[in-house]
Chain A
Amino acid sequence: MFSQVQLHYFVTVSEEGQITRAARRLHLAQPALSQAIAHLESELGIDLFVRHPRGVTLTRAGEAFLVKARAALAAEAETAQMGLSLRRAASAAIVVGFVGPPPMVSTPALFATFAERNPDAQISFRDLPFPRGATTTWLADVDVAVCQLPMSEQGVSVQPVRVEPRAVVAHRGHALAEHPEVDVADVLEETFVSYHPEVQPTWAGFHSLDDHRGGPPRRVTSDNALTSLQMLGIMSSPRAITTVPYADAKLARQVLPNIVAIPLRDAAPAAVSLVWREGAGNPLLEDLVQAATRLASGGDELDEL
């Protein structure tokens, strides 16, 4: 049967529509890729592509096979991810993803409790971009993420750690910067930081106050953010604002002297949460969720900031 590498080459060529471009993306010499595709075609006994002077297009058989090849690659990748999660579960290891400030900073009590209860756990942290595509795919490489709520999805569980007000983040030179606090109505018409088009719309919309406006901002920046750092990067000049949980805003202000954090008096609060894919049964994850549940009912997490 064909190999994973062959399928990957085939999918890449079909996406690029050109052997040359696909070869560049795959870091292969063009003749090597042509040969690999021809070899796959002869192994399968079908023509996958029609060759033109300016590129290649899929045959009907190629189109039908592309759907199946993608599904096969995705299923194998999911199997490997599940294998890694289960290996971590079996070896007292856990990978915690986060968006924005690291969990030691954003949820210190939770991780202090967790570390105390699990002194031998191998815990590692991974900075995640804003959620895009399916939430399960976004969570593929971590056992759990600490962040605001991504798109809800079957197979994804959520445990709030704390609920907190939102704050406006802006450059010190922005017209709003002098206000000790603002109302939602004061800022709805501002220019907002633009989010990468692939970022989940509910996520981007929450930061731009779409939930209060009932739609996207009238004006957004031309550059867009896929990560928290890019978002702060856009904030390097006084042209746009965004909103984040208040603790994140305060932290940004402490680290970046040009940033101000302005409490938003009447915005719906943000829920900083644990978000995870179900299925691997990692005992450390269960312990972390338990600790978060206790903290959420106690409500003392925020006091430490």
Chain B
Amino acid sequence: MGIELTLEGITKTYGKVTAVKQLDFTVKAGELFALLGPSGAGKSTTVNLIAGIEKPDQGDIKAGGSSILDQRPQERDFAMVFESYALYPHLTVAENMAFPLRAPNRATRYSAADIQKRVAETARMLEIHELLARFPKELSGGQKQRVGLGRALVRDSQLFLLDEPIAHLDAKLRHHMRGELKKLQKKSGRTTVLATPDYAEVVAMADRAAVLNHGVIEQIGTPVELFGKPANVVVAQAIGDPPINLLDCQMANRDGCLYISGSGFSVQCNDRLAAALRGLPVGATASLGIRPSEITIHQDPARGLIRGEVYVFEPLGGEAVATVNVEGKLVKVLCSWSSRLKIGDKVSLSFDLDTVHVFNRDTGRALYA
């Protein structure tokens, strides 16, 4: 069974660079908790701090309620998967996978038969059972990554640390591995921390996630919360592809009704939006966030709320991304391929006010989500 993991006020600096700052979060026992952020956000530093490879400057890390800061990595005994595989080149796949089970100073001893059984089972799950006799140099990148995963999964560790574990796999295998990893994690009930820059992976696998940016946690929540109710602009931009559109807007009072308007559009607020924005001074600029999937594009320029001109149209297979120039601001719309728009086409856009987000333009904080 997994253990509970807590980070309390963790800060780590390298020289003058602060890698992570005041991290506070608890990963519940048996939970799959993701660290989501672009490269340089502090994900790997956090994973290394938990593993004991790095020491924090400040703060405490607790596993199962007691501090583990004084424990060396091998004492913590967390199973870790690196993006860079880190396989032993002179050992076969089977030997690589069995390696942690044979390590001399582990608490648990495994019999030869048990080792063989564990390696075989894990290899089958990862679809590398036909590669067991090969050496790492005879494997593709995706295969190496799965061997790296296998080496971590083969033993009973209380905590799994996965640092971009499926980044190098092709699309089909990635979907397969997401499903398999999640299933395995739930079945074993092992607490797992997953670092990834890919929001789709987080949505597919994580129970909860922390969005990291420049070493700071922006928001912690379930994937549904992060997507539907982002606390700020950074979180809104971290989830969704293409990323959320942000348009400058102002509040205006006309005939007793509140309007939200910007260059190219003016929309009457519904009650909920009006209530949320009441505190904002009239004339103040805010940021209107609309997801590309929540916008409908009309070939009739008079039909929608915002008029624009097609800047570029990119069919992507099943669907397409239309980029629309709205008075100098480019807005992305996810639409059907069959719309076959051309550069320069006059179009209009509409959206439902229930699906938009409004952010304070200076602080980035969400006013309405």
**Chains A and B come from one and the same complex:** no
